[in-house]
Structure 1
Amino acid sequence: MAYDLEEQEQIATFKAFWGRYGNLITWVLILALGSFAAYNFWNSHSRKQAVEASALYDEQTDALTAKDNAKSQRIASDIQSKFKRTVYAQMSALTAAKTAFEANDLKTAKTQLQWVIDNGNDEYKSVAQLRLAGVLLDEKNFDGALKLLDGKFLPQFAAEVADRKGDVLVAQNKIADARAAYVAALAAMGPKHPGSQLVRIKLEAIGGTAPAAAAAPKAAA
């Protein structure tokens, strides 16, 4: 096919452009397509892992109900080894810690909670730290519990942290400090928090008085 002069110039320009940038454009397209394929594969892989981890976690909740600590620990180990990047790994470790604690297997409970602290996101880490402090309190490791409670927590856990500190301080017979901790917990909770009544009871039991802002709401007339 014959081309007129203008078309020939356009073809020549294109050939020159392609000769200079063609390889670069080709590699950019290959990388873009590769990234897109990898993204789709990763999403598909992540969904598959989440489904499999979810099925295992359902089995673990049944083990929790049945108080089958051995089965709960096996499932937690499987999820942590195979699906560590899913949220179910953190949930499973917390569940395994609960079944171990209820079976009076405090060593395993602490190991599972520490796993969450080392591998979980900030929210699950905060939960695990609170629960581990409770285990240490039961073991009368008061200094260890307080050290853990002085660590980093998300702001929304401030009330629970102060409440747990109060429990530890009462166990140490540091009553004045315990009162201050419970008052701080009530201030962070507010009067409508579901845990505020229990904290008020603990505070009053050691001779403290709830601040007016945290006083129990009056019943409607």
Structure 2
Amino acid sequence: MVVHIQDEQEVANFKYFWQRWGRWIFAILVILSLAYLGYVLYQSHLRSNNEKAAEVFDTFISQARANNLTESKKALVQLQEKYPDTMNATQATLMMAGSAFDDGKYDEAIRHLQWVKARQHDDLLQTIVAQRLASVYLQQSKYNEALQALDVKVTDAFKPVLLETKGDVLQAQKKNAEAVAIYQQALNLLSKDSVQREFIQLKISSLS
């Protein structure tokens, strides 16, 4: 009898709990289910996008190797417009920037580099873009723009690259003492076995 009463009490407690909280629990379960479904669909979308971007990137590479500039540019535009957040779009844009720089098309190179800078915020990519932008501006003797391009926030691991390039800009301006000081800052951040140390040390020696 006591057991029966306890069972009835538990049932009553459960009914009370469900009446009070049941709809909220159900709503939470629905939200969690929808969130999980959304995550699965998003991941599927990303995979699909990456696969399609890879196909366009292959076209870009093949056309570039064939020196078909018109078709390679079409593929690049497709990557930038349809798959702007993929690494394929970033890689193709950086390659096109390099090609434009080699051809002396500095303004075009700058446009490509700024496109990457606006979309990729990884420290490594920000460092690469900043260094290359500064190199383009340096080639144009636009020293202020070059220094501004190098003014990006990155972790200490990437700062030596930016500092070395800043030293190059200052050296081009005949500001040798300032260049040496900046080169020294770069050395201070590098490990003892870094290959970059030797190159920077040579630059310092040439200005001493």
Pairwise TM-score range, normalised by the shorter structure: 0.7 to 0.9
Name the aligned partner's letter for residue 183 of structure 1: Q
**1:149-168 counterparts in 2 under 5 A?**
149-168=150-169
* TM-score normalised over the length of structure 2: 0.82
**What is aligned with 1:213?**
none
In 2: Cα distance, 1:90 partner to 1:84 partner: 8
**What is aligned with 1:141?**
142
Q: CA shift at 1:137, angstroms? A: 0.3
Identity of aligned residues (%): 28
| Contact 2:126 2:152 (8 Å CA) reproduced | no
**What is aligned with 1:76?**
76
Greater alpha carbon shift after TM alignment, 14-23 vs 89-98:
14-23
In 2: Cα distance, 1:131 partner to 1:168 partner: 12
Q: What is the CA deviation profile of residues 11-37 of structure 1, one whole-angstrom value per residue up to 9, with x for unaligned ones?
A: 454444433333222222211211111
1:45 aligns with 2:56: no
Name the aligned partner's letter for residue 19 of structure 2: G
**1:16-165 counterparts in 2 under 5 A?**
16-66=16-66, 68-123=68-123, 124-165=125-166
SS in 1 for 2:158: helix
Q: What is the CA deviation profile of residues 53-104 of structure 1, one whole-angstrom value per residue up to 9, with x for unaligned ones?
A: 2233333344454555444433332222222233333333222211222232
Q: CA shift at 1:128, angstroms? A: 0.6
Residues 6 and 160 of structure 1: CA distance in aligned 2, closer, same or farther (over 3 Å): closer
Name the aligned partner's letter for residue 137 of structure 2: L
Greater alpha carbon shift after TM alignment, 5-14 vs 90-99:
5-14
In 1: Cα distance, 2:190 partner to 2:140 partner: 27
Unaligned runs of 5+ in 1: 209-221
In 2: Cα distance, 1:61 partner to 1:184 partner: 39
1:184 aligns with 2:185: yes
In 1: Cα distance, 2:155 partner to 2:170 partner: 22
The number of residues matched between the two structures is: 204
Residues 64 and 191 of structure 1: CA distance in aligned 2, closer, same or farther (over 3 Å): farther
Name the aligned partner's letter for residue 101 of structure 2: F
Residues 58 and 106 of structure 1: CA distance in aligned 2, closer, same or farther (over 3 Å): same
Greater alpha carbon shift after TM alignment, 127-136 vs 73-82:
73-82
Name the aligned partner's letter for residue 117 of structure 1: K
Residues 178 and 14 of structure 1: CA distance in aligned 2, closer, same or farther (over 3 Å): closer
In 1: Cα distance, 2:164 partner to 2:117 partner: 20
| Contact 1:170 1:178 (8 Å CA) reproduced | yes
Residues 12 and 136 of structure 1: CA distance in aligned 2, closer, same or farther (over 3 Å): same
In 2: Cα distance, 1:164 partner to 1:8 partner: 80
* TM-score normalised over the length of structure 1: 0.78
Name the aligned partner's letter for residue 132 of structure 2: R
In 1: Cα distance, 2:155 partner to 2:77 partner: 27
Q: CA shift at 1:119, angstroms? A: 1.5
